[in-house]
Amino acid sequence: MRFGVIIFPGSNCDYDAYMVAKNVIKREVKFLWHQDTSLSDCDCVILPGGFSYGDYLRTGAIARFSSIMKKVMNFARDGGLVVGICNGFQILLEAGLLPGAMLRNTSLRFICKFVHIEVENENTPFTNLCHKGQVLKIPIAHTDGNYFISEEGLNRLKQNQQIVFRYCDQFGGITQEANPNGSLYNIAGICNEKRNVLGMMPHPERASESILGSEDGKHIFQSIVNFFEKGKQI
Protein backbone atom coordinates (compact mmCIF):
# COMPACT_ATOMS: atom_id res chain seq x y z
CA MET A 1 0.00 0.00 0.00
CA ARG A 2 1.05 3.58 -0.53
CA PHE A 3 0.79 6.51 1.88
CA GLY A 4 0.61 10.09 0.66
CA VAL A 5 1.63 13.02 2.85
CA ILE A 6 0.35 16.43 1.79
CA ILE A 7 2.63 19.43 2.19
CA PHE A 8 0.81 22.70 2.74
CA PRO A 9 2.73 25.97 3.10
CA GLY A 10 3.51 25.88 6.82
CA SER A 11 3.22 22.11 7.36
CA ASN A 12 5.99 21.01 9.71
CA CYS A 13 5.22 17.39 10.59
CA ASP A 14 5.26 16.25 6.97
CA TYR A 15 8.74 14.72 7.16
CA ASP A 16 7.96 12.98 10.45
CA ALA A 17 4.90 11.30 8.95
CA TYR A 18 6.85 10.43 5.80
CA MET A 19 9.70 8.98 7.84
CA VAL A 20 7.41 6.78 9.95
CA ALA A 21 5.63 5.40 6.89
CA LYS A 22 8.91 4.74 5.11
CA ASN A 23 11.34 3.63 7.81
CA VAL A 24 9.18 2.40 10.67
CA ILE A 25 6.16 0.92 8.92
CA LYS A 26 8.22 0.23 5.79
CA ARG A 27 5.63 1.01 3.21
CA GLU A 28 5.69 3.12 0.09
CA VAL A 29 5.11 6.82 0.73
CA LYS A 30 4.93 9.88 -1.45
CA PHE A 31 4.81 13.60 -0.77
CA LEU A 32 1.87 15.45 -2.30
CA TRP A 33 2.03 19.20 -2.90
CA HIS A 34 -0.94 21.39 -1.96
CA GLN A 35 -1.22 22.58 -5.54
CA ASP A 36 -1.25 19.06 -6.98
CA THR A 37 -4.41 17.99 -8.69
CA SER A 38 -3.88 14.26 -8.24
CA LEU A 39 -3.40 12.01 -5.23
CA SER A 40 -0.94 9.82 -7.20
CA ASP A 41 -2.78 6.56 -6.45
CA CYS A 42 -2.15 6.79 -2.73
CA ASP A 43 -4.27 4.47 -0.58
CA CYS A 44 -4.13 6.60 2.54
CA VAL A 45 -3.67 10.36 2.56
CA ILE A 46 -2.16 12.06 5.59
CA LEU A 47 -2.72 15.76 6.31
CA PRO A 48 0.18 16.48 8.65
CA GLY A 49 0.55 18.87 11.53
CA GLY A 50 1.97 22.35 11.33
CA PHE A 51 0.73 25.88 10.80
CA SER A 52 -0.67 25.91 7.29
CA TYR A 53 -0.89 29.48 6.03
CA GLY A 54 0.36 30.69 9.40
CA ASP A 55 -2.97 29.76 11.02
CA TYR A 56 -4.28 33.00 9.53
CA LEU A 57 -8.03 33.64 9.82
CA ARG A 58 -8.71 30.30 11.59
CA THR A 59 -6.56 27.18 11.78
CA GLY A 60 -7.00 25.22 8.56
CA ALA A 61 -9.38 27.78 7.04
CA ILE A 62 -7.17 28.70 4.08
CA ALA A 63 -5.57 25.30 3.46
CA ARG A 64 -9.05 23.85 3.11
CA PHE A 65 -9.33 25.66 -0.24
CA SER A 66 -6.05 24.28 -1.69
CA SER A 67 -6.45 22.57 -5.04
CA ILE A 68 -5.46 19.20 -3.61
CA MET A 69 -8.31 19.41 -1.10
CA LYS A 70 -10.87 19.02 -3.89
CA LYS A 71 -9.24 15.67 -4.64
CA VAL A 72 -9.10 14.76 -0.97
CA MET A 73 -12.82 15.46 -0.65
CA ASN A 74 -13.67 13.25 -3.63
CA PHE A 75 -11.29 10.58 -2.35
CA ALA A 76 -12.96 10.63 1.08
CA ARG A 77 -16.42 10.53 -0.47
CA ASP A 78 -15.40 7.42 -2.40
CA GLY A 79 -14.21 5.71 0.78
CA GLY A 80 -10.48 6.52 0.61
CA LEU A 81 -8.61 6.66 3.91
CA VAL A 82 -7.79 10.17 5.12
CA VAL A 83 -5.93 10.98 8.35
CA GLY A 84 -5.63 14.52 9.67
CA ILE A 85 -3.15 15.02 12.47
CA CYS A 86 -3.29 18.22 14.51
CA ASN A 87 -3.38 21.00 11.87
CA GLY A 88 -4.52 18.26 9.48
CA PHE A 89 -7.49 17.61 11.80
CA GLN A 90 -8.24 21.34 11.83
CA ILE A 91 -8.20 21.38 8.02
CA LEU A 92 -10.61 18.41 7.87
CA LEU A 93 -12.99 20.24 10.25
CA GLU A 94 -12.88 23.39 8.13
CA ALA A 95 -13.43 21.31 4.99
CA GLY A 96 -16.51 19.74 6.55
CA LEU A 97 -15.10 16.22 6.23
CA LEU A 98 -15.46 15.92 9.99
CA PRO A 99 -18.03 17.67 12.21
CA GLY A 100 -17.24 20.31 14.86
CA ALA A 101 -14.65 23.06 15.21
CA MET A 102 -11.57 23.95 17.22
CA LEU A 103 -11.45 26.72 19.80
CA ARG A 104 -8.36 28.18 21.48
CA ASN A 105 -7.06 26.01 24.34
CA THR A 106 -8.63 27.10 27.63
CA SER A 107 -5.14 27.99 28.91
CA LEU A 108 -4.57 30.11 25.77
CA ARG A 109 -1.14 28.48 25.62
CA PHE A 110 0.64 26.41 23.04
CA ILE A 111 0.83 23.02 24.76
CA CYS A 112 3.54 20.58 23.75
CA LYS A 113 3.71 17.49 25.94
CA PHE A 114 2.96 13.79 26.17
CA VAL A 115 -0.65 13.00 26.99
CA HIS A 116 -2.61 9.79 27.36
CA ILE A 117 -5.56 8.96 25.17
CA GLU A 118 -8.00 6.12 25.47
CA VAL A 119 -9.11 4.16 22.42
CA GLU A 120 -12.87 4.60 22.45
CA ASN A 121 -13.58 2.83 19.20
CA GLU A 122 -11.35 0.03 17.92
CA ASN A 123 -13.62 -0.77 14.97
CA THR A 124 -12.00 1.65 12.55
CA PRO A 125 -9.33 1.28 9.86
CA PHE A 126 -7.08 3.37 12.13
CA THR A 127 -7.44 1.49 15.43
CA ASN A 128 -8.18 -2.12 14.49
CA LEU A 129 -4.98 -3.37 16.16
CA CYS A 130 -5.92 -1.63 19.42
CA HIS A 131 -8.51 -2.74 21.93
CA LYS A 132 -11.27 -0.65 23.41
CA GLY A 133 -10.03 1.11 26.52
CA GLN A 134 -6.38 0.80 25.53
CA VAL A 135 -4.33 3.76 26.75
CA LEU A 136 -1.86 5.27 24.28
CA LYS A 137 0.90 7.71 25.21
CA ILE A 138 1.22 10.23 22.38
CA PRO A 139 2.26 13.91 22.44
CA ILE A 140 0.14 16.92 21.58
CA ALA A 141 1.51 20.23 20.25
CA HIS A 142 -1.13 22.86 19.60
CA THR A 143 -2.79 26.13 20.61
CA ASP A 144 -6.19 25.44 19.07
CA GLY A 145 -7.17 21.94 20.12
CA ASN A 146 -10.21 22.67 22.22
CA TYR A 147 -12.75 20.61 20.33
CA PHE A 148 -16.26 22.02 20.18
CA ILE A 149 -19.50 20.73 18.74
CA SER A 150 -23.16 21.45 19.46
CA GLU A 151 -24.96 19.24 21.98
CA GLU A 152 -26.93 17.68 19.17
CA GLY A 153 -23.70 17.06 17.25
CA LEU A 154 -22.07 15.45 20.27
CA ASN A 155 -25.04 13.13 20.66
CA ARG A 156 -24.71 12.13 17.03
CA LEU A 157 -20.98 11.43 17.50
CA LYS A 158 -21.81 9.21 20.48
CA GLN A 159 -24.66 7.38 18.77
CA ASN A 160 -22.60 6.66 15.67
CA GLN A 161 -19.53 5.75 17.70
CA GLN A 162 -17.48 8.38 15.91
CA ILE A 163 -15.41 9.27 18.96
CA VAL A 164 -12.14 7.40 18.46
CA PHE A 165 -9.84 8.85 21.14
CA ARG A 166 -10.45 10.65 24.45
CA TYR A 167 -7.91 12.33 26.72
CA CYS A 168 -7.40 10.29 29.88
CA ASP A 169 -4.92 9.79 32.70
CA GLN A 170 -2.25 7.10 32.50
CA PHE A 171 -4.70 4.54 33.90
CA GLY A 172 -7.42 5.35 31.41
CA GLY A 173 -9.49 7.53 33.74
CA ILE A 174 -11.39 10.17 31.77
CA THR A 175 -10.99 13.15 34.08
CA GLN A 176 -11.04 16.91 33.77
CA GLU A 177 -7.42 17.04 34.95
CA ALA A 178 -6.42 14.75 32.08
CA ASN A 179 -8.03 17.09 29.55
CA PRO A 180 -5.16 19.32 28.34
CA ASN A 181 -7.07 21.87 26.31
CA GLY A 182 -10.70 22.01 27.39
CA SER A 183 -12.04 19.74 24.64
CA LEU A 184 -15.67 18.85 24.95
CA TYR A 185 -16.15 15.32 26.36
CA ASN A 186 -12.31 14.98 26.45
CA ILE A 187 -12.39 14.40 22.69
CA ALA A 188 -8.93 13.90 21.16
CA GLY A 189 -9.91 12.24 17.88
CA ILE A 190 -13.02 11.49 15.84
CA CYS A 191 -13.92 9.77 12.58
CA ASN A 192 -16.69 10.37 10.08
CA GLU A 193 -19.79 8.20 9.92
CA LYS A 194 -18.33 6.02 7.20
CA ARG A 195 -15.20 5.47 9.34
CA ASN A 196 -12.75 6.32 6.54
CA VAL A 197 -11.73 9.80 7.74
CA LEU A 198 -9.88 10.26 11.04
CA GLY A 199 -8.90 13.50 12.75
CA MET A 200 -6.77 13.54 15.88
CA MET A 201 -4.90 16.25 17.77
CA PRO A 202 -2.14 14.02 19.24
CA HIS A 203 0.82 13.27 16.97
CA PRO A 204 1.27 9.50 16.38
CA GLU A 205 4.15 10.24 13.99
CA ARG A 206 6.09 11.73 16.90
CA ALA A 207 5.62 8.61 19.00
CA SER A 208 6.41 5.68 16.75
CA GLU A 209 9.92 4.82 17.96
CA SER A 210 11.03 4.02 21.49
CA ILE A 211 13.94 6.48 21.24
CA LEU A 212 11.31 9.24 21.04
CA GLY A 213 9.67 8.20 24.30
CA SER A 214 6.77 6.11 23.02
CA GLU A 215 5.94 3.68 20.25
CA ASP A 216 2.21 3.85 20.77
CA GLY A 217 1.63 5.98 17.68
CA LYS A 218 2.80 3.07 15.58
CA HIS A 219 -0.44 1.19 16.35
CA ILE A 220 -2.33 3.69 14.23
CA PHE A 221 -0.07 3.36 11.19
CA GLN A 222 0.02 -0.42 11.58
CA SER A 223 -3.75 -0.58 11.86
CA ILE A 224 -4.04 1.25 8.54
CA VAL A 225 -1.64 -1.22 6.90
CA ASN A 226 -3.48 -4.12 8.51
CA PHE A 227 -6.79 -2.80 7.21
CA PHE A 228 -5.44 -2.72 3.67
CA GLU A 229 -3.50 -5.90 3.67
CA LYS A 230 -6.22 -7.97 5.34
CA GLY A 231 -8.74 -7.02 2.67
CA LYS A 232 -10.22 -3.87 4.19
CA GLN A 233 -12.16 -5.72 6.88
CA ILE A 234 -12.33 -4.10 10.29
Partner 1 sequence: MDKENRLARATVYVKLKDGVLDPQGSTIQRALENMGYHGIKDVRSGKVFEIAFQSNEGKKPEELIDEICRKLLTNPVIEKYNFEILK
Residues annotated as catalytic (active site), given as ranges: 86, 203, 205
Q: Which stretch binds partner 1 (CB under 8 A): 148-156, 162-170, 189-197, 214-222?
A: 148-156
DSSP state of 127: T
Query: Does 211 help bind partner 1 (rule: CB under 8 A)?
Result: no
Query: Does 24 help bind partner 1 (rule: CB under 8 A)?
Result: no
The site for partner 1, by CB under 8 A, has a size of: 20
Q: Out of 35, 57, 77, 158, name the contact with partner 1 by CB under 8 A.
A: 57
Query: Does 140 help bind partner 1 (rule: CB under 8 A)?
Result: no
Q: Kindly tell me the sign of the dihedral angle through the C-alpha atoms of 181, 124, 116, 138.
A: negative
**C-alpha distance from residue 79 to each of 32, 93, 165, 177, 195 (Å):** 19, 17, 21, 37, 9
14 backbone dihedrals φ, ψ, rounded to 5°: -65, -45
Query: Does 108 help bind partner 1 (rule: CB under 8 A)?
Result: yes
**C-alpha distance from residue 74 to each of 10, 175, 208 (Å):** 24, 38, 30
Query: Does 182 help bind partner 1 (rule: CB under 8 A)?
Result: yes
Q: What does the binding site for partner 1 look like in residue numbers (CB under 8 A)? A: 57-58, 61, 65, 93-94, 99-101, 103-108, 146, 148-150, 182
